[in-house]
Structure 1
Amino acid sequence: MQMAAFVGSAALGCGEVRARAASARTAPAAGRRTSRRAAAALSMVTSAKPSRKMSTETSPVTLTRFIIEEGMENADLIHLKDMENLMAAIALACKKISSLVARAGLSNLTGLEEGGGSINVQGEEQKKLDVLSNEVLKNALRFSGKMGIMASEEEDKPVLVDELTSGSYIAVFDPLDGSSNIDANIATGTIFGIFEDNAECLTQDWEDRIEERELQCMYGTMQPGTNLVASGYCLYSSACMLVLTFGNGVHGFTLDPTIGEFLLTHYDMKIPEDGKIYSFNEANEANWDPVMRDMLSRWKERGYSSRYIGSMVGDVHRTLMYGGIFGYPGDKKNKTGKLRLLYEAAPMSHIIEQAGGVSTTGTERIMDLNPQAVHQRVPVILGSKNLVNEVVEAYKQAK
């Protein structure tokens, strides 16, 4: 009996709170006073809807949920629907590569491929993880159902996806940037960019050899960075973090290993307009042109800090987070620079520009460059707007 009375009293109390909350929402502004209890109830009602801008324990914003909601809010970004499948494939590949990197020392995956006898198209010795990461990413993209062509740092020529599993997009990627750091357990990453493709560039099979006509068609799909519909990188470090843009800002997702999902942790990332960190390989200073040597002297005179990992993903991520400037300029040994335009410089420039930064060769905007070859190299200088624009201005004055 006492329990029934208690339940009835509790029910009446809840009903009273709801009634007061409703009254508070509908009452005219004049002549009404809302009690503290009703105001608190109203606050609970109006704050019940979780914000999608952040992940919480009870309402995590997964990568898939984020893409769906972005598509609903940005009807002009018609490619976002297709991005659900593509990003799911890339996220899966990143999880697998992250696991391989973390267990490399335990699984005998450190060191060179085939005892050092394997050389990629760049003339670089391939690490075991270079080869394995390339296959992981290729297969994940192949079975996404959205991919037509793939171009990788580890492949001599672009690869066409067979017609049965192909789609209308082209992916360009460096499957494991900074792989020379693997044995030392230093940060590495994956870089990727997605273009819309010409659907006529399809073959019947998953082929190693293709006809000259098809090869010309593939090379015809090489496009400037301004045509990218999505770009991103996955950082393998103390945490596994996926940073990407669909052309409407930059967003960061951190892998939660307890549930195996990338969760939104950094919404609408912005690079500071200024910074006091420069990230260049100063060992090459003697081979730089006078403009870059002068800029380095200026940074040192201002007391800027030097931070250089040797992994583009790691260095660019730090620059994005803290501000500053990153670069690998051309020099006497590498006049066109060292970084590849199609699958390193362009996607990273896309991200930096979407975050409010600037990216240049020193004299040209990287996003405007039209690749003349799959593995074309370009000088790269990117980062905080004020610092990079100072370099651009210095090159103008040097002419």
Structure 2
Amino acid sequence: MSDTVDDVLETVAAVAPDVRGGLPGRRLTEAGVENPSGESVTAADVHADELFFEALGAIDGVAEFASEEREAVVDTGDGAPGEGDVAVAIDPLDGSSNLASNNAMGTIVGIADESLPAAGESLVAAAYVLYGPITTMTVAREGTVTTSVIDGGEARAVEEDVSLPDDPVVYGFGGRVPEWPDAFREYAREVESELKLRYGGAMVGDVNQVLSYGGIFAYPALESAPNGKLRLQFEGAPIAKIIEAAGGASSDGEQSLLSVEPTDLHQRVPVHVGNEAYVERLEAALAD
């Protein structure tokens, strides 16, 4: 299984430049369809999904592939997750709505040793690629986090044993303020007096700010979306895996995102990740 995880991560790094290279020509092009979560899909989403599916689905040892852009899990091998093979869940292009404004985007990957949908506790590795001024990949594996620069389709480690700074600096909260629950709104007022706002509209970019400077990212439950907006399988659990491996914490408001049992492949969940003290304060605020 370890060799397969290596292959998956190396393949993600190899495909990332092609995903990035395909963005300019698809900047303002809609695909004319919606994904299973009811969101409009851009041509860049479709292109990224197709690239990753073709490359990851061809790896021996990858038994299942699931994407935010696909309705169901695709069987890609003869084996089964947990019997030496793995399942891969991916958000091919996180923050694709940022294409119009030329802001950061990313790719999020979870690698599980159980069939999908799988709880975060079954993730053997997780990663995100950030398409910023440079392309980087941050990987959580075996309890440690490594950040690499992707150059020429290969990942070169630039920081190992990554951990959240002890002195938090930034926060980023998604959703419209009028739709926040009262308890979260009160918590946000406290946080905004302590930390600097950094929010760009792509989870990968916002979480990377938290990982770099310390703090908290949240996309809470909303009045219009009581289960949150982000997907557990494709966004919440993989990001939680990375943040917790870096010494931070995650929560759906009551428990670690890694402990949430999935009931549906495209299940939504409130997401709160960052320095442990801020996540614990948030859980206490929501419990009052």
Partner of 1:234: 129
Shift of the alpha carbon at 1:162? 4.8
* Aligned partners of 1:113 and 1:131 also within 8 Å: no
Shift of the alpha carbon at 1:232? 0.4
Query: How far apart, CA to CA, are the structure 2 residues paired with 1:340 and 1:244?
Result: 19
Partner of 1:154: 69
Mean Cα deviation higher: 87-96 or 381-390: 87-96
Shift of the alpha carbon at 1:266? 0.9
Q: How does 1:97-136 map to 2 (within 5 A)?
A: 97-101=19-23, 104=24, 108-114=25-31, 117-136=32-51
Structure 2 residue 283 is matched with structure 1 residue 392? yes
**Larger RCO (CA within 8 A; separation ≥ 6):** 2
Identity between Structure 1 and Structure 2 (%): 32
Query: How far apart, CA to CA, are the structure 1 residues paired with 2:87 and 2:35?
Result: 21
Runs of 4+ in 1 over 3 A off after TM superposition: none
Task: Specify the structure having the higher radius of gyration (Cα).
Answer: 1
Cα deviation code 1:121-159 (max 9, x no counterpart): 111111011000000001110112121111110001111
Query: How far apart, CA to CA, are the structure 2 residues paired with 1:89 and 1:277?
Result: 32
More helix by share: 1
Q: What stretches of structure 2 of length at least 5 have no aligned partner?
A: none
Name the aligned partner's letter for residue 48 of structure 2: S
Structure 2 residue 6 is matched with structure 1 residue 84? yes
Query: How far apart, CA to CA, are the structure 1 residues paired with 2:54 and 2:268?
Result: 26
Task: Report the TM-score, using the length of structure 2 for normalisation.
Answer: 0.94
Of 298, 303, 306, 2:190 maps to 298
Query: How far apart, CA to CA, are the structure 2 residues paired with 1:146 and 1:111?
Result: 37
Cα deviation code 1:172-196 (max 9, x no counterpart): 0100000000122111000010011
Q: What stretches of structure 1 of length at least 5 have no aligned partner?
A: 1-78, 198-217
Of 244, 257, 261, 2:154 maps to 261
Cα deviation code 1:254-306 (max 9, x no counterpart): 0234xx4221101110002341321013x62222112111111112333x211
* Aligned partners of 2:13 and 2:150 also within 8 Å: no
Q: How does 1:1-399 map to 2 (within 5 A)?
A: 79-101=1-23, 104=24, 108-114=25-31, 117-163=32-78, 168-197=85-114, 221-257=116-152, 260-281=153-174, 284-302=176-194, 304-396=195-287, 398=288
Shift of the alpha carbon at 1:384? 1.0
* Aligned partners of 1:274 and 1:387 also within 8 Å: no
- Given the superposition, is the C-alpha separation of residues 151 and 366 from structure 1 closer, same or farther in structure 2, using an over 3 Å criterion? same
Provide the aligned C-alpha RMSD in A.
Answer: 1.8
Shift of the alpha carbon at 1:317? 0.5
* Aligned partners of 1:340 and 1:377 also within 8 Å: yes
Cα deviation code 1:197-241 (max 9, x no counterpart): 4xxxxxxxxxxxxxxxxxxxx6xx422101100100000010000
* Aligned partners of 1:112 and 1:126 also within 8 Å: no
More strand by share: 2
Query: How far apart, CA to CA, are the structure 1 residues paired with 2:189 and 2:129?
Result: 33
